[in-house]
Amino acid sequence: MTTDSSSEPLIDIDRLKRDILELAKIGQDPATRGVTRLGFSDADMQARSWLMTRIADAGGSAGLDGAGNVVGRFAGAADLPPVLVGSHIDSVPAGGMFDGTLGVLAGVEAMRTLGDLNRTLHRPVEVIAFADEEGRFGGMFGAQAVCGQLTADWIHNAHDVDGIRLADAMQAQGLDPMAALDAARRPDDIHAYLELHIEQGPVLEQERKNIGLVDGIAGVFKWIVRLVGKAAHAGTSPMHMRSDAFMGLADFAHEISRIIEEDGSAHSRLTVGKVELLPGNPHTIPGEVIFSLVGRDMSPQVMSDLADSCRKVLSAIARRHHLKFEFEQLSWLEPQGCDAGLLQVFEDHADRLGLSHLHMPSGAGHDTQFMACLTRAALIFVPSVGGTSHAPDEWTHWVDAENGANVLLRTLAAVADEGTPKTA
Ligand code: HGY
Ligand code: MN
Ligand code: MN
């Protein structure tokens, strides 16, 4: 822990690095270094208790709210609505060790640093790790719970791509799924929300910038699509007499670039990330294909245009191949802008730390996009090596992690000290 020449605080990167490396071990495959901590899995819950211990060691009081979000509270001089700082510690399958965890652990390190300096901020601070940010069960469960956007129906019906129900997964961890409805906070319960995250893309590295100031976050929709044809013998069925579900998917794959050209924008993304062919026997024509489809854009209108176009194209393909087409929408998360005032505070502190910065959009979804529905919220990025993320070789150089954590620390202190009574 140090302070700079103007006695402004600086984080201790060795402590932050140690936390990131230690947390990475929970759910990590030693062979690939990939981290798997799916929402409400054993590894995810083990990581939550590890984090609560870390928060307590740093002088906070930690617990789980009704949605399973880890909330670590650090007292302020005045009992006022807190500033929330954080991100998530759940991961995608075989993900990286910086996605989400950097923002949460940088929040803990910021409070540890201020504690070392015996500096109590005017307002309380809550370090938060949102549950299931990666949307295993659709959406961003923890952040949506805090924003009061969940319904009992949605909680009851939510399931993952393998059909495992959210309610069952939570109950298996001793949690009451419906308690998530009690995690809702009101706008005047929170002063502001700040998040630090890795960029997960190549822009900052290519532009050689230290800090990304995120103006807006893309919206995301997630479908599970089924094309149902007829399983039949692969040798006796003439090619023109088949209802081959795989060929339906193959045709759709070739249509994706046209859909984006005609109905999308430069920010549009359509991704088929998981496919299941049934019955999955090499000598049987696939009678069914089940696949995920994730669509993204910065504009709500373009998102719905993309969805409409995918629906029309899949219907036409189903007719052409004598298939039945159906889909389930697991989630629809609206695009969201970040608070310009908070971004300015982030920018001023980046300048004072001598760090270069770049205003940019986020193609990935983040908890900030929900917290912005409740309070002032803003997000900054640090560079990802090679733009890689959601993969074992996700990496961010420690100096970049340190830069981001210092900008977060300084901004957190400035925002939490807003309204401090002037001493006479
Ligand atoms: O996939 C995303 O946009 C984020 O990582 N949840
Ligand atoms: Mn993330
Ligand atoms: Mn992610």
- Residue 80 CA to ligand 3 center (angstroms) comes to 32
Candidates 35, 87, 89, 92: which one to mutate for ligand 1, based on the most atoms within 8 Å of Cβ?
Answer: 92
CA 33, 41, 125, 344 dihedral sign is positive
What is the tens place of the pLDDT at every residue in 280-325? 999 999 999 999 999 999 999 999 999 999 999 999 999 999 999 9
What is the tens place of the pLDDT at every residue in 20-65? 999 999 999 999 999 999 999 999 999 999 999 999 999 999 999 9
Helix (H, G, I), strand (E, B) or coil at 35: strand
What is the tens place of the pLDDT at every residue in 69-91? 999 999 999 999 999 999 999 99
Q: Model confidence at 420, in pLDDT bands (50, 70, 90)?
A: confident
- Residue 268 CA to ligand 1 center (angstroms) comes to 14
Report the b/e string of 126-158 with b at 16+ CB within 10 A.
bbbbbbbbbbbbbbbbbbbbbbebbeeebbeeb
What is the tens place of the pLDDT at every residue in 368-416? 999 999 999 999 999 999 999 999 999 999 999 999 999 999 999 999 9
Q: How far is CA 253 from CA 193, 247, 269, 318, in A?
A: 39, 10, 13, 13
pLDDT of residue 200: 98
Name the residue at shortest CA distance from atom 4 of ligand 1: 365
Q: Is 199 in the pocket of ligand 1 (CB under 6 A)?
A: no
Q: Which atom of ligand 1 is nearest to the CA of 220?
A: 3
Q: Which atom of ligand 1 is nearest to the CA of 294?
A: 1
Q: Which atom of ligand 1 is nearest to the CA of 99?
A: 5
Query: Is pLDDT at 1 greater than 60 in this prediction?
Result: no
Name the residue at shortest CA distance from atom 6 of ligand 1: 134
Q: Model confidence at 424, in pLDDT bands (50, 70, 90)?
A: low
Lowest mean pLDDT among 4-8, 30-34, 306-310, 339-343: 4-8
What is the tens place of the pLDDT at every residue in 129-159? 999 999 999 889 999 999 999 999 999 999 9
Residues with CB under 5 A from ligand 3 (ion): 99
Q: How far is CA 144 from CA 66, 102, 151, 329, in A?
A: 12, 21, 10, 17
Q: Model confidence at 423, in pLDDT bands (50, 70, 90)?
A: confident
pLDDT of residue 358: 98
Q: Is 364 in the pocket of ligand 1 (CB under 6 A)?
A: yes
Q: Is 133 in the pocket of ligand 1 (CB under 6 A)?
A: yes
Candidates 141, 198, 200, 389: which one to mutate for ligand 1, based on the most atoms within 8 Å of Cβ?
Answer: 200
pLDDT of residue 61: 98
Alpha helix ranges (H) inside 214-356:
245-263, 300-320, 340-352
Query: Is pLDDT at 257 greater than 60 in this prediction?
Result: yes
What is the tens place of the pLDDT at every residue in 153-168? 999 999 998 999 999 9
